[in-house]
Chain A
Amino acid sequence: MKKGTITIIIIVLILIVANLSLFIVDETRQAIVLQLGKPIKAIQQPGLNWKLPFIQNVVYFEDRLLVYDAAPTEIITKDKKTLIVDNYARWKITNPLRFLQTVRDLNGAQARLDDIIYSELRVDLGLFNMTEIVSEIREEIMERVTKISNEKSATYGIEIVDVRIKRVDLPPENEKFIFDRMKAERERIAKQYRAEGQEESAKIIAETEKEKTIILAEAYKTAETTRGEGDAEAVKIYAQSFNKDPEFYKFLRTLDAYKITFKDKTTALLSADSEFLKYLSNPSVSE
């Protein structure tokens, strides 16, 4: 036999043995070594490991954070309202040996997580009113559910890192009810705005009318006062002057009045004895 052939045979043999007895545990995984089906050691650190060929084999488990995403479920709140809760959880395998013994694989784990988280959530959400769940103490509820679930899941070698309510929705029929209420509320607000507008408008108009009336009344007052002043002044002026000879004033003014009074076809009965006509019948008469 050639030296090279021997070398190759040796290399191949080494590779075969290595392949059977060495195994790599990745950062993302953990492993359990089984000897004839019986777990003998757990390997949680990544790196190169060895096992006995043939009689030992290795099963791997995920070492990363896993997702538990449950289907949305209906729960009843303390105030007897139905909510559809969609939650998820993050969990990881902390004790692969116990995990293997109790739930075997991810499917088994999923079923257990369903039991634990679902029932815990149901119980906890049932203790509170809807508004509390939606807003006020959501965080608190989730923290508590996480904590209690985690205690329960420890027996399965599982750590529940976070239980989180992704969505809290109302069932479609309640949603319609809410929409109706929202509509009614908006209608109320809209009405209020319009009514406020009309109120304000009416106020302004009334105020305007009032102001207008006051302005005109004030003006009337001033005008009448002014007129009165004019009249008074005139009276004073007339009186002062006419008092110089009241008889003559009366004479003149009466004649003026005649001019205006006896216009057009007024019929006058004139006495033949009158001052004006006395010369008509008796021209000789003199003063």
Chain B
Amino acid sequence: MSDNFNEEKEKIINFTENIPKFLFGKGIFGGFLIIILILYLATGIFIVAPDEQGVVKRFGKFSRLESPGLNYHFPYPIETVITPAVTQVKRIEIGFRTVGSGSSTRYQEVSNEALMLTGDENIVSADAIVQYKIKDPVSYLFNIILPEQTVKSAAEAALRQVVGERKIDEALTVGKYEIQEETMKLLQSLLDSYEAGILIVAVQLQDVNPPKEVQAAFKDVASAKEDKSRYINQAQGYKNDIIPKARGEAVKMTKEAEAYKIERIKKSEGEIARFNKILEEYKNGEYVTKARIYLETMEEILPNMNKVIVDLDSNQSLVNLLPLGDIPLLNASSKEVTK
């Protein structure tokens, strides 16, 4: 077995050594040709980078895929290789363009791409980013031309179709996530129908806004909403101010009334107590007490008064008195006028 193998090996070596001799003869010329042949064969060596995949064609027909690393294909024109970057995620901007890079990155609106009709015949401005990568390098390379343009056109069509199915308020608010998802699904199915070998990684809606021309009006709606709640809050504030005050007022009123009630009762009780005391004394000597109280009272009130003492014998006496005039009468403090 081993002998046999060695023999074979020997034969092959002899044979290969003899080919050049047979073909080109000996000498410098032959050696030169051998080097050219080796160099030619060496052109088949190729490296597939980690993010790439090697697609080898033999006579133009797809032959095999090669993984990253050092690889070999038969030299041109027998085999050729293409190494697309299959893990690289590419990015397409719809409705805007990134201008500049790094710290000077700016975004420029592309309004004819961004503006689209909604289902209720309104117009919104939508910016989106589409990310894609190669799903199947064979389809990607051999089935479509201009992959970027293909993805872009399809993405625009899909986005507009999805937005077109919605009403403006939906597109501007809650529908954003749905629009993303649906656009992504539709876009993927379009590309699959083209057998493009492309995988959509993400569709991100950056901004969905009303167009510039009507933005002020939309903003005013937002501030009107604010106004609404402000009006309500102010009214609520007024209520919160007024009602407790009124309640306070009410308590004041009732308390005052209660105080009055108690005052009245206490007063009357006091007066009664006094009356009862006096009554008790009065019962002990009715006439004397009565006279004393009367006289005490007179003593108290009369000193401050103007007094005119009239001896009323007859009726005309009073009439006679009247022409005496009012001035001396009123001004005299303690005059006694007698008939």
Give the interface of A toward B (CB within 8 A).
2-4, 7, 24-29, 45-48, 62-67, 69, 88, 90, 130-131, 134-136, 138-139, 161-162, 164-170, 175-176, 178-179, 182-183, 186-187, 189-194, 196-198, 200-205, 207-209, 211-212, 215-216, 218-220, 222-227, 229-231, 233-235, 237-238, 240-242, 244-245, 248-249, 251-252, 255, 258-259, 262-273, 275-277, 280-281
Q: Are A227 and B257 in contact (CB under 8 A)?
A: yes
Give the secondary structure class of A's interface: helix
* Closest chain B CB from A125 CB (angstroms): 14
Partner of B121, one of A130, A165, A211: A130
Task: Tell me which residues across on chain B come within 8 A of A135, comparing CB atoms.
Answer: 118-119, 164-166
- Known A4-B29, A200-B235, A234-B264; further 11 A-B contacts with Cβ < 8 A: A7-B24, A28-B142, A46-B57, A46-B61, A65-B143, A130-B121, A167-B160, A169-B112, A240-B272, A270-B307, A270-B308
Partner of A205, one of B225, B239, B310: B239
Q: Are B232 and A134 in contact (CB under 8 A)?
A: no
Q: Are B239 and A208 in contact (CB under 8 A)?
A: yes
* Closest chain A CB from B200 CB (angstroms): 16
Does B81 make an interface contact (CB < 8 A)?
no
Partner of B297, one of A65, A205, A258: A258
Once A27-B61, A69-B153, A219-B249 are accepted as A-B contacts, the answer to whether A168 and B160 lie under 8 Å apart by CB is: yes
Task: Tell me which residues across on chain B come within 8 A of A224, comparing CB atoms.
Answer: 257
* Closest chain A CB from B337 CB (angstroms): 10
Task: Tell me which residues across on chain B come within 8 A of A176, comparing CB atoms.
Answer: 213
Q: Are B121 and A25 in contact (CB under 8 A)?
A: no
What are some 8 contacts across the A-B interface (CB < 8 A)?
Answer: A27-B61, A27-B141, A69-B153, A164-B153, A179-B123, A179-B213, A194-B224, A268-B306
Q: Are A276 and B298 in contact (CB under 8 A)?
A: yes
A-B contact count (CB 8 A): 331
Q: Are A194 and B214 in contact (CB under 8 A)?
A: no
Task: Give the CA-CA distance A225 to B120 in the complex, in Å.
Answer: 67
Partner of A175, one of B60, B119, B123: B123
Task: Tell me which residues across on chain A come within 8 A of B164, comparing CB atoms.
Answer: 134-135, 138, 168
* Closest chain B CB from A8 CB (angstroms): 8
Partner of B221, one of A131, A190, A205: A190
Once A27-B142, A258-B301 are accepted as A-B contacts, the answer to whether A198 and B246 lie under 8 Å apart by CB is: no
Q: Find the B residue at minimum CB distance from A261.
A: B301
Q: Are B238 and A4 in contact (CB under 8 A)?
A: no
Q: Are A265 and B145 in contact (CB under 8 A)?
A: no
* Interfacial residues of chain B within 260-297, with CB under 8 A of chain A in the complex: 260-265, 267-269, 271-272, 275-276, 278-279, 282, 290, 293-295, 297
Task: Give the CA-CA distance A139 to B123 in the complex, in Å.
Answer: 20
Task: Tell me which residues across on chain B come within 8 A of A280, comparing CB atoms.
Answer: 309
